Structure 1
């Protein structure tokens, strides 16, 4: 009798072959395109960063929250690596390499925050929004009670949407604020696009899909994560735009 379990020792084979994987990714990408269209139509200020007039308080608070999200997620994502290693060693290795690229990117946003007049002390004194805390809590919950898909799906969603939306945002911010003021965000975008993190995340995710039920779970996790991220946009809009408009009126 061997009591050892959850070792990933069997190196499980993904459900889909290379051609099937390509088709399944295209299906998910179409779904995310649809969700982005819904997002733009229903979430306040969803496209603000690519608009001509930049709301400074909104922008500054966005930078602070990016720093917090990266700092908090590198802890939850480390837990994800530990959990994935019990399922698929290759996926855990690939995910660890991806996280190694991302884990210290808070420094990039700290640099842009400094250019916007935000000190490290101000960042540390600012509590993350409820949405950010809920997102990290969702990962811990899912990893303990549902499996390893949720954090990987979340990164796939973020990388795909950033690939679609971030180039226009960085270009617009560069025009409004100057190249030196957004060089951290530009560097982050450069890494994501040149290394094709969207495809990289799918290559990892498909290694963790062992049944059609698993694939259907991906859609549900996309919905879950987008709902939490939409809460962030509503929180920051209320905090930096709506409330001040009401005060001014």
Structure 2
């Protein structure tokens, strides 16, 4: 007889992520086709790459802050996060190599402020860490890796079909690194570690839904500032 702990399993968390992403696909223009590898727009894709680079840098800072807040309270969790952080540093250069093919320079990316939805996400991350410790960081990092595993190959293949394989070398290399280092599995270990009670499980699920809501806001803003603006 199975023992019910009240703490969600990985399968349950993945089910929530899929359900929330499906809601997102129904509310934001072109996003469903983009994630399925069925549609792409040059300016939309360029700005998405740029925001990915910006967000990686900001997220590394958030992870570093979370690591500082963990301190010596959970050495194993700190070790897992440190491993992930070390492996993530420099990944922005992979996407930058693709973006440069579109004529966007490193300096241009550096001087571009993050979209407002990204500012909201990063600000919420800091607030959440101060409020609930490492949990939000672990849920977010796992979701990012799960999202990449689910959708980024579709997006990269469509970009390769439209613009050429030279334009996705960095993106494909990033996918290869994530798969080789099993970042989805690594980060889910951290989610499991921060869910000690049924209450923690409910909180983790709530964070997951809120993060996907913020991602929905990002894709709406991305659409509005590229395709919508051009239209």
TM-score of the pair, normalised by structure 1? 0.85
1:173-192 equivalences under 5 Å are 173-192=159-178
Q: Who is 1:216 aligned against?
A: 202
Distance in 2 between the 1:53 and 1:146 partners?
39
For 1:49-198, list aligned pairs within 5 A: 50-198=36-184
The SS at the match of 1:87 is coil
Give the Cα separation in 2 of the matches to 1:193 and 1:106. 17
1:30 matched to 2:9? The reply is no
How much is the aligned-residue C-alpha RMSD, in angstroms? 2.1
CA deviation vs aligned residue, 1:175-210 (integer Å, no higher than 9, x gap): 222222111110111111222211111111111111
What is the CA–CA distance in structure 2 between the aligned matches of 1:217 and 1:211, rounded to whole Å?
Answer: 10
CA contact (8 A) 1:49 1:173 kept: no
Aligned 8 A contact 2:66 2:133 in 1: no
In structure 2, the CA distance between the partners of 1:205 and 1:84, relative to structure 1 (3 Å rule), is farther
> 8 Å contact 2:49–2:99 — kept in the other structure?
yes
CA deviation profile, 1:143-198 (whole Å, cap 9, x unmatched): 11222111110111111121111222222222222222111110111111222211
Give the Cα separation in 2 of the matches to 1:189 and 1:81: 25
Describe the shift of the 1:203–1:197 C-alpha distance in structure 2 as closer, same or farther (beyond 3 A).
same
Structure 1 unaligned runs (5+)?
A: 1-16
Moved more, 35-44 or 235-244: 35-44
Structure whose CA Rg is larger: 1
Equivalents in 1 of 2:14, 2:35: separation in Å? 23
CA shift at 1:216, angstroms? 0.7
| Structure 2: segments with no counterpart, 5+ residues | none
CA distance in 1, matches of 2:83, 2:37: 35
CA spacing shift, 1:21–1:67, aligned 2, 3 Å: farther
1:115 and 1:204 map into 2 onto residues whose CA distance is 36
Contact 1:45 1:233 in 2 (8 A): no
Q: Secondary structure at the match of 1:41?
A: helix
Equivalent residues of 2:7, 2:197 under 8 A apart: no
After superposing on structure 2, the runs of 4+ consecutive aligned residues of structure 1 that deviate more than 3 Å are 19-23, 49-53
